[in-house]
Structures are given as structure tokens and as C-alpha cells.
Chain A
């Protein structure tokens, strides 16, 4: 039953019913046929602009939302609603917002201990406490703070508490949903380094969601780029970053601020025109065609599927 991949996501779909009239509901296609695989100990970066469905992908994989379609396999075994409880020990999540993801009425000890309580991972109170203190040390929290409440901590410390909670069950796969976006730049670097150290020590695989390409490039082995619920390009991190194939990836990269003004002057910026179409009213064919420089008749009729390019990246675009 085992396979080369730790997590395989195939044709994942997540539609949300949205009320559009008194009796009418229209599906909002937040995620529409996303596929990717992650090897053990690997990091896949997932980027895309706000509202393209990154968080939804992460949450659907962990069955926090019941997916509309598609499959998720863990070590070759299909995940269903019934065997998910067991897999919650293997797959965990770090949340986007370090403020709302910690219960203000619980102490740090109880927050980190919750997964241990739920899965009964200790035999005595002593063991529970030792495990919690070990986790706190692992993420760089002062053990003296175990009995404090979450609101007494800074954003960076809170994010560490969230990471310690995710690590409590000793998972093999963690979805990091913009785990650093809410932090100061200086603290971002600390937390990212911590993620890398943990990966080295514990061998966990990450699905690292972010909208900042620089951050993602730094930490990821491979990068997937999403646009309106679909993956438009996926490949090795360096290739996607240095040699983007999809017009959307190219424009995303040209929007990354360049610290050197001389290079910045030389590189031309591709500014996207128009707004992101509403996910409730998607354009026919390729979703990006309304803002694409290369759009043709064909783009309006068919939806391009992911095909391999010379550099090894898979790209969903008719334009070569």
C-alpha cells in the first residue's frame, strides 16, 4: 500500500454553496481540480494572490472542509471521513492568523497539550508535562511561560505556540498556512529558519502556503502557483523562480520588489490589467485569459491542462 509519495492530491475540488437569491444557491468554485504530490521531508510552496483558494486547499486536504470531489492519499492510502481521525496524528496545520487560532481561555500548556489529550498520547500527568515542555523548548519558547494565557504573548511567540501544537502529535506532514505573513519581517526570518531546522531534525514535509514568492523560494523544494482555484504552474523552485513559463507566474515575479535599484530599472514590470474575475462567475476556458497578454480564441474555448515544458515544470498554458 505504500508509495513514493507521502501525500498525493488528485483533482481536489471544493465548491462552497453561496446564496444568490432567496431560494437559489450558486457554487463558489474556491478550488477546482488541484493535483500535486509531496515526498517525505519535502517542502512544496503554494503561492497565488489573495482569494485564489490556497487556504481552502490546505483545509480540504485536512478534511476541515468536506471536499466536493477528488481524492487525497496519505502513504498511498485514500483518506475518507471515517479514517481521518487516525490520520490527524500524521497531518497537522499551522494557521494563518496567530491571534484567532489560539483559544484565549486556555493556557499555553493546555493549548499545546490538546492534541496529546485528544489522542491520549501520555500515560501520566508527569509525562504530559514533560512532552509539553519539550515541545516548547523545540520551538524556542521559555518553559516558564507554560501556565500563561495566549493573549499575554507577542505575535511571533503565538505563532510558535501554534507550531508546537501542530508538532505535538509528531506529524509527518504539516500545512503551514501563511504561517509568517502576520509577523514582522525580522521575526519572519526567525520563524522560517525554525521551520527549516525542524524539518532537518524531524523530517516533516510541508505544504508551505504564502503569497510572498521570495519567502517561498527560500524554503521550498518545489513551487506550485495557483490562480482562481487552479494550479497554473508547478515545478522545481529554482526553475519556477528563475525561468517562469506561465504568463501569470511571470507577472507575479515581476511584481516582487527588487532591492537593487539598478537591476530594478533594467527589468521591466509586467503590470496585470483588469481585476481578478469572481470565483462565482469564472470566464470560460482558461481562467487567466481576461488578464493575459497572449490570450487567443483558443483560450476562451478550452481549458489548458498541465503539460511538461523543457525545463521540467508543468504549465497550464497554450502559449509556448
Chain B
């Protein structure tokens, strides 16, 4: 080695030829260091660890947990109702109209002067003398549940349809996927409008007195549309996943060892597509919230007096010049929730896709 280095022709000043004399032999310890592999953990722990290193995803998670805590506990602490006019000491307070945040009405000031305590109106009140904070809280409740319920519906239908299509393949797959293509090409907004008109006429009376009536036929139409239209994306995703995994050599290897289909599905197919499916469900939530919001904004969402973030934004349009904060509150909440779900979904994807692992 030494000799070979000396025999090398002298290096030209500008040449990029490597100067071997500058290299040292690796010591035994250095060699051993190369051999040590990174700490091994389970797939889930590994993914969570990487997720925790992503500040955006962690921030989003904290924000979403805060939002959920607020919408669960705020109604227990704040003594106001989302649907009815404010009362002071049992008397309806007609003067509490369109107040600014933390402003008190005359009746409330009077009551406080007498020694009573009044909970502040954190976001003011609306033109029907209702506490706006409570309306935003309930609106968030509605929007979030719509998002979650719609996503779970999409997940269930898409998962069943997609796995049948992908697993059986051949002619079954061909027919099922052509149906998906047709549904994919239907304009969703038009379908929502048509369905809510039809459902309003048919369901309107049938629902009277049930819990569903409080949701209103528009919201039910929205769910029906989701169940009918939006699962196709999920079905395509699941089918594609199963088709690619089915053709992997490790499935063939499992067959060669004698594993039965049950074992292959349980040990090989599901673990390899479950994270992708969960992540795209997480990304489905903001899209459902967004759809609900813009439909409510167009007047096709939940029925009055039930608020949703979209319908609150819609009502706020009327007094936009005088009370801009009324649009600001629900809009900011929508933006932050949708953004957090998207960032969290992205973070999950980065953390749980082993192919992206460094």
C-alpha cells in the first residue's frame, strides 16, 4: 500500500486526482462503528417517534386536542345557550344585541352593580342577543362531527368496495371500477343541491320529532351525498394498494411457504396498506369540513338555529362593515382546523411511510 502510494505520478496542481497519501486506514473501532445499525423498534413506535420530531405535526395535534377540549368543556363552564337569547338573572336581555367582545349590556352592568356576577361575552353577541362564543363552539362541534362522520363513512364504504374490487380482480374489478368512473364524473355540488331539495320534500315530515330533525334535511342530504359520491377516491386508493401488494414477491413467498389466504391478508396485505388508508382518512376530514362549510355558506347546510362554522360565516356577511370580527372568528377556526388536519395528515404520512425513511 505504502509503496503504491509512492509510485503514483506526482499530482498536478490543478488536477482533481485524489491524493492517496492523505488517506488513513480505518481503525478497528471505526470499522466496528460502521457495523452498528440504527436502534430497532416496532413499526408503530418508530413512526410515532418520527412524528414527534415534526414540529408542525405536533403543533397541529396540540391545537386539535385543545379545540376538542374546548368544545367538550366550554358548554359546561359558560352559562349561555347557543340557541336562545341571553338572560340576566332569569330576565331576557333584549339590549344585548351585536355587542363587541367583552362588552356588557345595560342590564348586565346594572346586575353587576347590585353585586351579581356575569360571565363575559368572549366573542360578543349576535343580532339575536345570543352569546357568539357559544355559537362558534357549537358550530365547531357540528363541523368537526360532520367531518369525522363523513370520513368514517367514506372509509367504510371505500374500504369494502375497494378491497373486493382489488382482491377478486379480473371481470369483477372491471365492472366495479367502471361504476366508480361514472360516479367520479358526477358534479358533486349539483348532486347536493338536487338531493337536499328532494330529501327536504320527502324527509321533511318523516323526520319530525326525531333527533335527525335537529340536524335538518340539508345535513342529511350532505351525508347521503358523501355516502354516495365521495367514497370513490378511497375505493380507488384501497384497490390500487391491494393490487400492488398482491403482486409483491413476499405474498408469493408466503404462498410458497404454504400460508393460506386468511394469513396472507392478515399478515401481509393489511399491515402494508393500513397506514396509507388511515392517513388518507385523516386528510379526508378537512375536506369534509370544508365541503360542509361551503355548503352551509351557500345556505345548504345545517338547519337554524343549529350553527355550523360555515353558516356562521354566512350570517356574518350581512353586517360585515359594522362587525367584521363576526366573520373573522368562524373563518379563522375553519382555517386553523383544516390546516391542522392537513399538516397532521402530512406528518403522519412522512412518519409512517418506510420508503421515505432516511
Contacts and interface: CB of A to CB of B under 8 A. Distances in A.
Interface string A85-103: 1001100110111001111
A145 B37 CA distance: 9
Contacts of A101: 248-250, 252-253
Given A145-B37, A151-B354, A152-B38, A100 B258 contact: no
B254 interface: yes
Contact of B257 (A59, A92, A102): A92
Given A104-B272, A105-B271, A88 B258 contact: yes
A252 B38 CA distance: 44
A62 interface: yes
A114 B252 CA distance: 13
A119 B357 contact: no
A162 B271 contact: no
A97 B249 CA distance: 8
Interface string B244-269: 00001110111111110001000110
Interface string A202-228: 000000000000000000000000000
A101 B253 CA distance: 7
Return the 6 tightest CB-CB contacts between A and B, nearest first: A88-B258, A101-B249, A115-B257, A105-B271, A103-B250, A100-B249
Given A89-B258, A119-B257, 17 more contacts: A92-B257, A93-B253, A93-B256, A95-B249, A100-B248, A101-B249, A101-B252, A101-B253, A102-B253, A103-B267, A103-B268, A103-B271, A104-B354, A105-B272, A118-B258, A148-B37, A152-B40
B167 interface: no
A115 B259 CA distance: 8
Contacts of A103: 248, 250, 254, 267-268, 271-272
A115 B257 CA distance: 5
A64 B357 CA distance: 32
A162 B357 contact: no
Most buried by A among B37, B43, B258: B258
A169 interface: yes
Interface of A: 59, 62, 64, 85, 88-89, 92-93, 95-97, 100-106, 114-115, 118-119, 145, 147-149, 151-152, 162, 165, 168-169
B258 A148 contact: no
Nearest to A150: B250
Contacts of A145: 37
Contacts of A59: 252
B232 to A, nearest CB: 24
Contact of A106 (B37, B38, B259, B267): B267
A88 B256 contact: yes
Contacts of A118: 257-259, 263
5 contacts: A64-B256, A101-B253, A104-B272, A148-B40, A152-B37
B257 A88 contact: yes
Contacts of A85: 258
A104 to B, nearest CB: 5
Contacts, number: 72
Interface of B: 37-38, 40, 43, 248-250, 252-259, 263, 267-268, 271-272, 354, 357
A253 to B, nearest CB: 31
A91 B40 CA distance: 33
Contacts of A151: 354, 357
Nearest to A102: B250
B154 to A, nearest CB: 25
Contacts of B268: 103
A93 B254 CA distance: 10
A114 B272 contact: no
Contacts of A95: 249, 252-253
Contacts of B259: 114, 118
Given A101-B250, A105-B272, A165-B253, A149 B37 contact: no
Nearest to B272: A105
A34 B249 CA distance: 24
B148 to A, nearest CB: 27
A111 B10 CA distance: 54
B253 A119 contact: no
B35 to A, nearest CB: 9
Nearest to A106: B267
Most-contacted residue by chain A among B257, B267, B271 (CB, 10 A): B257
A59 B254 CA distance: 13
B219 to A, nearest CB: 39
Contacts of A162: 253
Contacts of A165: 253, 257
A195 to B, nearest CB: 18
B21 to A, nearest CB: 26
A168 B38 CA distance: 27
B252 A64 contact: yes
Contacts of A106: 267, 271
A54 B354 CA distance: 32
Nearest to A98: B249
Given A97-B249, A147-B40, A152-B38, A114 B256 contact: no
Given A85-B258, A119-B258, A100 B37 contact: no
A145 B254 CA distance: 21
A175 B263 CA distance: 23
B23 to A, nearest CB: 21
A92 B40 CA distance: 29
Contacts of B254: 103, 114
A62 B256 contact: yes
A115 B258 contact: yes
B358 to A, nearest CB: 12
B244 to A, nearest CB: 10
Contacts of B252: 59, 64, 95, 101
Residue of B43, B250, B271 ringed by the most chain A CB atoms within 10 A = B250
Contacts of A168: 257
